[in-house]
Amino acid sequence: MERGTMSNEHSDLLTVEEVAKLLRVPTSWVYEKSSARTQERLPHVKLGKYLRFYKVDVLNYVEKMRREKND
């Protein structure tokens, strides 16, 4: 699905703090999982020094981690 066709709920950019709240994890975890040193990176967009996340990408990441753990 192209981002231009997503509903606003899924296309809104989230901040690190919003992602941490959504996933109920510390912001440090979000930064760690967004790092280039991490094998399974949390998908993000870098706007200068700021990280932003599409909600749908974050939810897909969680689903992928869940499936891999159960396989």
Q: What's the whole-model pTM score?
A: 0.80
60 located within any domain: yes
2 located within any domain: no
Q: What is the average pLDDT value for the chain, to the nearest integer?
A: 88
Side chain identity at 58, as an amino acid letter?
A: V
Contact by Cβ (8 Å): 58, 65: no
Tell me the pLDDT band of 10, cut-offs 50, 70 and 90: low
Torsion angles phi and psi, residue 51, rounded to 5 = -100, 135
29 located within any domain: yes
3 located within any domain: no
Cβ within 8 Å of residue 3, ≥6 positions away: 11, 54
Residue span of the structural domain in which 47 resides? 8-70
Whether residue 64 is predicted with pLDDT greater than 90 in this model: the reply is: yes
Cβ within 8 Å of residue 47, ≥6 positions away: none
32 located within any domain: yes
Domain count, the chain: 1
Q: What's the pLDDT at 1?
A: 43
Residue with tokens 């932003």: 52
